[in-house]
Amino acid sequence: MVEKNNRWKIIAIIFIALFGLLLLYNIWGIISYYNEVEKTDICYYDVCNEYPQAILEGNICSCYDYDLTGDLIVSKTKILK
């Protein structure tokens, strides 16, 4: 059994470790978010800059254009790395 005086130290170490893991998880989430924003910008502004619509699904960038009846059709598709 742990002495009564050392219990708070063990609890403090556990909370510090959990806080560190939470901090790493948040940093990973922010980095992932900015990578997705960068891919979206590449899709919209580099790949599909001459088309009125663009959709990014995963790593597939699809450019859409209007046909003669006014419906959207896929004009160009590119897989982003």
Q: Taking 80 as the threshold, does the pLDDT of residue 65 lie above it?
A: yes
CA gap 6, 13 in Å, rounded: 11
Q: For 14-59, what is each residue's pLDDT tens digit?
A: 999 999 999 999 999 999 999 999 999 999 999 999 999 999 998 8
In the prediction, which pLDDT does 6 show? 84
Residue 42: DSSP 8-state = I
Q: What is the pLDDT of residue 64?
A: 95
Contact present, 19 and 39 (Cβ < 8 Å): no
